[in-house]
Amino acid sequence: MAKKIKIFIDPGHGGSDPGAVANGLREKDLTLAIAKALKKYLEQFEGIEVRLSREDDRFLSLAERTRLANEWGADIFISIHINAGGGTGFETFVFTNASSKSVAYQNVIHEEIMKVMGVTDRGKKRANFAVLRTSRMPAILTENLFIDRASDAAKLKDPTFISYVAKGHGEGIVKVFGLKRKSNTSSPANKPTVSRPNPSNQSKPSQPAASKPSTGNSKPSGDPYVRNIQQFVNSYGFSIAVDGIAGPKTMRALIMVLQTELNKQFARGLTVDGIFGPRTRAALANLRAETRGNLTRVLQAFLYIIGFNPGPFDGVFGDMTTTAVRSFQRARRLSVDGIVGPQTWSALLG
């Protein structure tokens, strides 16, 4: 029997910690409502287990939340919050030194939530939040509108909008893990029957963000650099979507390209399975300045996806790629030598 995917949902705050409070709302109540609706939505899919850090109004320390997820062996940790501070819109966070898998999951989940919620996109960010730092699995923290902004609060008071927030989170998780709906559930029990919520005049998330140029139609084209990476991957005979979103399928395909090149150039005899396991780790080749070719392209792809700009996606280990490698090594507290050896590769692909 296949191992079930374990999804851990953490409704922020609770009990004596109300979180942000404004406009007649408390963050702890909203996060619990979203989390419960998300659990209900996900339970319509096969091969998963879903747990919440709390299912009622109780206090849990930050350490207790991640301890529960770590001891359970969760495959993903989703912490749900409501923002405050006078802004508007939606944003997600991963840890400052997030793994490539966390970044891949963030990319997919963020995009899926934005498709559903219809609010301002504040972007994908990084932070040294305790629940992100201490979780042992890919972890994402979402900030869903601003409780102290009247227009955002009006949305958060609407149960239909809360169901949209939950559905967006759920669709992201479904896409990350490739989940299939149970045969006896024809439609989500909590799927709204009304039309998609109208964003305000100041926020039109159905349009691409400024950094994501249009393809000439109404759909976002995604990150053009990532689209180049996906086209490169598909030149190896794969058929991943060229959507500009660096999700798990893109990351797995990049590892398959890495394994293919290691076999081709160094006769490593690896199984091309997209899994960064001990054999692949042991087969890695060092890369350094002036190296050229497709292994350098793989390096540039991973650097870019996790937030370190290597310059043109050209397979040339030039000055910009060297600077990106050194910045990455410094951020991960590795030896800052600009050489991509086993430790740097492992930190990139881990």
Q: Are 167 and 103 in contact (CB under 8 A)?
A: no
CATH of domain 224-349: 1.10.101.10
Express each pLDDT in 44-86 by its tens digit: 999 999 999 999 999 999 999 999 999 999 999 999 999 999 8
Q: Which CATH number fits domain 5-177: 1.20.1530.20, 3.40.630.30, 3.40.630.40, 1.10.3470.10?
A: 3.40.630.40
CA distance 316 to 312: 8
CA atoms within 13 A on the CB side of 27: 24
Q: Which residue has the tokens 């209900």?
A: 40
* SS3 label, residue 179: coil
- Per-residue pLDDT for the chain (350 aa), expressed as one digit of tens each? 678 999 999 999 999 999 999 999 999 999 999 999 999 999 999 999 999 999 999 999 999 999 999 999 999 999 999 999 989 999 999 999 998 899 999 999 999 999 988 889 999 999 999 999 999 999 999 999 999 999 999 999 999 999 999 999 999 999 999 999 998 755 444 444 333 444 333 333 333 333 333 333 334 457 889 999 999 999 999 999 998 888 899 999 999 999 999 999 999 999 999 999 999 999 999 999 999 999 999 999 999 988 889 999 999 999 999 999 999 999 888 999 999 999 999 999 87
The residue annotated as part of the active site, out of 143, 171, 261, 290, is 143
Residue 149 per-residue DSSP state: S
Q: Are 274 and 284 in contact (CB under 8 A)?
A: no
Side chain identity at 330, as an amino acid letter?
R
- Look-up of token digits 């390209």: 257
64 given a catalytic annotation: no
Residue with tokens 């479904």: 174
Domain boundaries, the chain: 5-177, 224-349
Q: Which residues contact 184 (CB under 8 A, 6 or more apart)?
A: none
One-letter amino acid at 282 equals: A
